[in-house]
Chains A and B, each alone.
Chain A
Amino acid sequence: MIALVDYGAGNLTSVRKALTALGADFVVPSAPEECHRARGVIVPGVGHFGATANLDDPWRQAIGSAAASGTPLFGICVGMQWLFEGSDEAPAVAGLGAIAGRIARLAGDADQRLKVPHVGWNSLEFRGAARLLRGLNSGAQVYFTHSYAAPVTTECVAATTHANTFSSVVERDNIFGVQFHPEKSGDAGLAILRNFLEVCA
């Protein structure tokens, strides 16, 4: 059973639909303790980093201790950003801190018409082997919609460039994160979600 954490950051309909299509056994936990029994935890999210403030201490401790005991943890979009220490978008809200580094706003480039928010399909440039990216090739295109992004750290297994180069996929041991929306990224996105489910199996 996979725990799909709903902390009120946008809607979960697309993620639910994709997990259902992949035949995943998942629940949306109503209490933090349920994360301990899960074979994997997904923290989705769209919108503002400030919404992760709803992941208060009980949730943070439950997710953090599940991850510390080896349960695969997958952050999507704002959920991936939450794996880091914090974000300039909501400086008062702390991230989980599973990955060192801070989320910062994309700069864009007016001369090259590179707008922020970064909305649309962009490519993943692979930076080493990753379980999350099994079966995909470097250059695979996925759907992004965000204004803030993670730095390129040692956990970065794929990077994407939109004026800045940022971490679009992170992976370290049982910690996984993607800045884009696999649930809206066609076959490539479904393959990534399936890879996570296989890690949890």
Chain B
Amino acid sequence: MLTKRIIACMDVRDGQVVKGVQFQQLRHAGDPAALARRYNVEGIDEVVVLDITATLESRQALARTIHAVAQEIFLPLTVGGGIRSEDDAAAAIDAGADKVSLNTAALRQPDLITTLARRYGSQAVICAIDAKRRDGGFAVYVRSGTTDAARDAVAWAREAESRGAGEILLTSMDRDGTKAGFDCEMTAAVSDAVDIPVIASGGAGSVDHFADVFTRGHADAALAASIFHYAESSVSELKRHLQAHGIPVRL
């Protein structure tokens, strides 16, 4: 049976893992390669590296980080943050990424999804959607959550799928860093609207939150950062808990 995936996300700035609350107030959380090594031992299913500075100078540092993380794990590795062009994506993949995650660039130039899907296959292209609740719907934001994209998350996820995206990484901006639980309603709305897998993100604070998003939220995978970084809950404990609740996981 296909298992539910647990994905660890590392927000990286200047080669170090950092984590904020609702996209602000960053604090340091360690060395990316060392964290990746620990997650691998604990049984993480995938790793995501998000470059949260995405300046020109940070590009080379990012390639070094991707390479260092890729040396530690034989698991799917996704890289996102500031990937604006085919060249940016190629640089990430050449450095060792298996998938790239597009966010702002996908909305600005949706053709980029198709271009990358043709070059690397849909399985290598994740469309990341940052959204918050508004007027009974789910409003998409871009530029690290600062700019209203005037799009609905469900409609945009459908379009991204039709353009060739292989997965959707859906982050609730309302819940990001709050540890109040995933936005299960939003996740279910998007997951039910597309055939490609949906990765739920934002709000993980306890093992029960993961069980919720896999059942009520219809998520195919769940992503978290700080809950794993600070060892508040180990990946292996989380998976045993999910298994005890009848949710299939890789142990």
- Chain A contacts to B: CB under 8 angstroms: 9-11, 13-14, 17-18, 21, 46-48, 108, 113-123, 141, 143-146, 161-162, 181, 183-187, 189-190
Q: Which of A114, A119, A121 contacts B166 (CB 8 A)?
A: A119
B197 within 8 A of A: yes
For A183, list chain B residues within 8 Å (CB).
Answer: 74
For B3, list chain A residues within 8 Å (CB).
Answer: 120-122, 141
Quick check: A161 and B74 within 8 Å, CB to CB?
A: no
Contact indicator per residue, chain B 1-44, by CB within 8 Å of chain A (1) or not (0): 11111000000000000000000000000000000000010000
Q: Which of B40, B124, B195, B221 contacts A120 (CB 8 A)?
A: B221
User: B126: shortest Cβ distance to chain A, in Å?
Assistant: 11
B94 within 8 A of A: yes
Across the interface, name the chain B residue whose C-beta is closest to A162. Answer: B2
Interface residue total, chain B, C-beta cutoff 8 A = 30
Most buried by A among B74, B93, B221: B74
Across the interface, name the chain A residue whose C-beta is closest to B4. Answer: A120
For A118, list chain B residues within 8 Å (CB).
Answer: 2
Instruction: Known A115-B195, A120-B45, A141-B3; judge A17-B70 contact (CB<8 A).
Output: yes
Q: Which of B93, B123, B250 contacts A117 (CB 8 A)?
A: B123
Quick check: B71 and A17 within 8 Å, CB to CB?
A: yes
The 5 closest A-B CB pairs, nearest first, are A47-B121, A145-B123, A121-B250, A141-B250, A121-B3
For A181, list chain B residues within 8 Å (CB).
Answer: 76
B167 within 8 A of A: yes
The tally of CB-CB contacts under 8 A between chains A and B is 97
Quick check: A11 and B94 within 8 Å, CB to CB?
A: yes
User: B98: shortest Cβ distance to chain A, in Å?
Assistant: 6
Q: Which of B94, B123, B196 contacts A47 (CB 8 A)?
A: B123
User: A198: shortest Cβ distance to chain B, in Å?
Assistant: 18
Quick check: B123 and A46 within 8 Å, CB to CB?
A: yes
CA distance A11 to B89 in the complex (A): 12
B96 within 8 A of A: yes
Q: Which of B206-243 contact A (CB under 8 A)?
A: 218, 220-221
Most buried by B among A9, A119, A123: A119
For B167, list chain A residues within 8 Å (CB).
Answer: 119
CA distance A112 to B196 in the complex (A): 14
Quick check: B195 and A122 within 8 Å, CB to CB?
A: no
CA distance A186 to B36 in the complex (A): 13
